[in-house]
Amino acid sequence: MISLKGRDFLTLKDFTPEEITYLIDLAAYFKKLKREHVLHDRLRGRNVALIFEKTSTRTRCSFEVAAHDLGMGTTYLDPKSSQIGKKESIEDTAKVLGRMFDGIEYRGFGQSIVEDLAAHADVPVWNGLTNEYHPTQILADMLTIREYMGSLQGRTLAYMGDARYNMGNSLMIGCAKLGVNFHVISPAKYFPDEDLVHQCREWAGHSGAEIVLTEDVMEGSKGVDAVYTDVWVSMGEPDSIWEERIEDLTSYRVTMDVMKNAAKDAIFMHCLPSFHDLDTEIGREINQKFGLTCMEVTDEVFRAYDKPLFDEAENRMHTIKAVMAATLSDEWKID
Ligand code: CP
Ligand code: NVA
């Protein structure tokens, strides 16, 4: 019997394949309950704090809706309106919030900040995205692949773009642990950190997954089950790097040719938000400066493969619910 009660959720590195699978199973169970309008508010009377030092749509809404479904209250702390960091240290903040709340979510910059928070709070701390990792996103991604492919073991996911940041790192860890082959397709300078690749290859040795790093788009995407990409410039990175990223990554955009080269029933995946058209401020700015009408994925691919993509976004909520539920209580029985 797996119990995660009292655990922090900071990176998938800390979890065994069995524990990660348990969280995905629990999320699928909650999704079923939600679809059938079965209440699952067993955590009534509890409260969670949601700290966002970077902006969010999906993660914030997922934590809020999931907490309410579980019967819990939420307090949202935005990037400007708390004392965190400016007038109060992370250590003191953790000690205060730990006295008032049953769990704390943190989205922000360095992983060391969320680790510091977890070290000083006596309640579970959940990573809602740092520069290095985005572990709740990976649970949603794996649930989505499982829903479409029936299983994870032996499937192949290709990640195109900057693989050195939170999404590339976390996908590689999740895939390595769960037996999903992971292909990085990018210029070599965007390959993930060598030590992390080495560590993931050790996990992959146990799970049967293969980790491939290639600069060749057609070789890396041949026959894969899922093609994944992310924005070329992440939150917190300076605007001045757009030019270099556009130059380096334009030939690593997900196009229809890439999707046709993948397996016949392949899905397109993206953590979102995405720059696939000119309906965003940044999209229009980049268009005026560099003439691009889309960035990491074409609008054609984005719209042609939108069903799994928005299932993936919905699955953020079910999986975040599983993380909170499992770390706050071990009374969940999956039927
Ligand atoms: N995928 C994701 O984390 O989305 P948000 O930035 O909207 O939370
Ligand atoms: N790499 C992106 C992920 C957004 C969900 C960022 O950090 O901005």
Q: What is the secondary structure of 27-38 as a DSSP string?
A: HHHHHHHHHTT-
Pocket flag, ligand 1, residue 137 (CB < 6 Å): yes
Domain of 241? 137-314
Same domain, 110 and 231: no
Nearest to 126 by CA among 329, 331, 320, 332: 320
Please give the distance, rounded to the nearest whole angstrom, from the Cα atom of residue 134 to the centre of ligand 2: 8
Whether residue 41 lies in the annotated active site: no
Same domain, 56 and 176: no
For a ligand 1 pocket test, name from 53, 62, 129 the mutation site with the most ligand atoms within 8 angstroms of its C-beta.
129
Same domain, 174 and 287: yes
Give a yes or no: residue 2 inside a domain. Answer: no
Whether residue 14 lies in the annotated active site: no
Give a yes or no: residue 6 inside a domain. Answer: no
Integer Cα distance of 330 and 36 in angstroms: 23
Spell out the residues 6+ positions from residue 89 whose beta carbon is closer than 8 angstroms to its own: none
Question: How deeply is 191 buried, as exposed, middle or buried, from its count of CB atoms within 10 A (0-12, 13-18, 19+)?
Answer: middle
Inform me whether the pLDDT recorded for 331 exceeds 90. Answer: no
Mean pLDDT across 292-320:
98
Q: Of all atoms in ligand 1, which is nearest to the CA of residue 272?
A: 1
Q: Of all atoms in ligand 1, which is nearest to the CA of residue 60?
A: 8
Integer Cα distance of 47 and 323 in angstroms: 15
Whether residue 153 lies in the annotated active site: no
Confidence of residue 84 (pLDDT cuts 50, 70, 90): confident
Same domain, 80 and 153: no
Whether residue 83 lies in the annotated active site: no
Pocket flag, ligand 2, residue 166 (CB < 6 Å): yes
Give a yes or no: residue 230 inside a domain. Answer: yes
Q: Over the stretch 146-168, which tens digit does the pLDDT of each residue have?
A: 999 999 999 999 999 999 999 99
Give a yes or no: residue 3 inside a domain. Answer: no
Same domain, 262 and 120: no
Give a yes or no: residue 4 inside a domain. Answer: no
Whether residue 107 lies in the annotated active site: yes
Active-site hit among 271, 276, 294, 318: 271
Please give the distance, rounded to the nearest whole angstrom, from the Cα atom of residue 59 to the centre of ligand 2: 11
Same domain, 109 and 207: no
Q: Quote the distance between the C-alpha of residue 119 and its chain's center.
A: 22
Long-range CB contacts (within 8 A, 24+) of 2-6: 3/330, 4/326, 4/327, 4/330, 5/326, 5/327, 5/328, 5/329, 5/330, 6/124, 6/327
Same domain, 289 and 305: yes
Spell out the residues 6+ positions from residue 326 whose beta carbon is closer than 8 angstroms to its own: 4, 5, 22, 23, 26, 332
Same domain, 304 and 323: no
Beta strands in 148-207 (DSSP E): 156-160, 181-185
The number of domains in the chain is 2
Q: Over the stretch 25-81, which tens digit does the pLDDT of each residue have?
A: 999 999 999 999 999 999 999 999 999 999 999 999 999 999 999 999 999 999 888
Q: Over the stretch 173-232, which tens digit does the pLDDT of each residue have?
A: 999 999 999 999 999 999 999 999 999 999 999 999 999 999 999 999 999 999 999 999
Pocket flag, ligand 1, residue 59 (CB < 6 Å): yes
Q: What is the pTM for the complete model shown?
A: 0.98
Give a yes or no: residue 1 inside a domain. Answer: no
Q: Which two tokens stand for residue 133?
A: 């990792």
In this structure, what CATH number is given to the domain that contains residue 47?
3.40.50.1370
Whether residue 230 lies in the annotated active site: yes
Same domain, 144 and 127: no
Give a yes or no: residue 175 inside a domain. Answer: yes
Beta strands in the chain (DSSP E): 47-52, 73-77, 103-107, 125-127, 156-160, 181-185, 211-214, 226-229, 267-270
Please give the distance, rounded to the nearest whole angstrom, from the Cα atom of residue 70 to the centre of ligand 2: 27
> What is the model's pLDDT at position 86?
83
Which three-class secondary structure state does DSSP give residue 296?
A: coil
Same domain, 181 and 201: yes
Give a yes or no: residue 5 inside a domain. Answer: no
Pocket flag, ligand 2, residue 165 (CB < 6 Å): yes
Integer Cα distance of 192 and 185 in angstroms: 11
Round the average pLDDT of the chain to a whole number and report it: 97
Same domain, 171 and 291: yes
Same domain, 33 and 104: yes
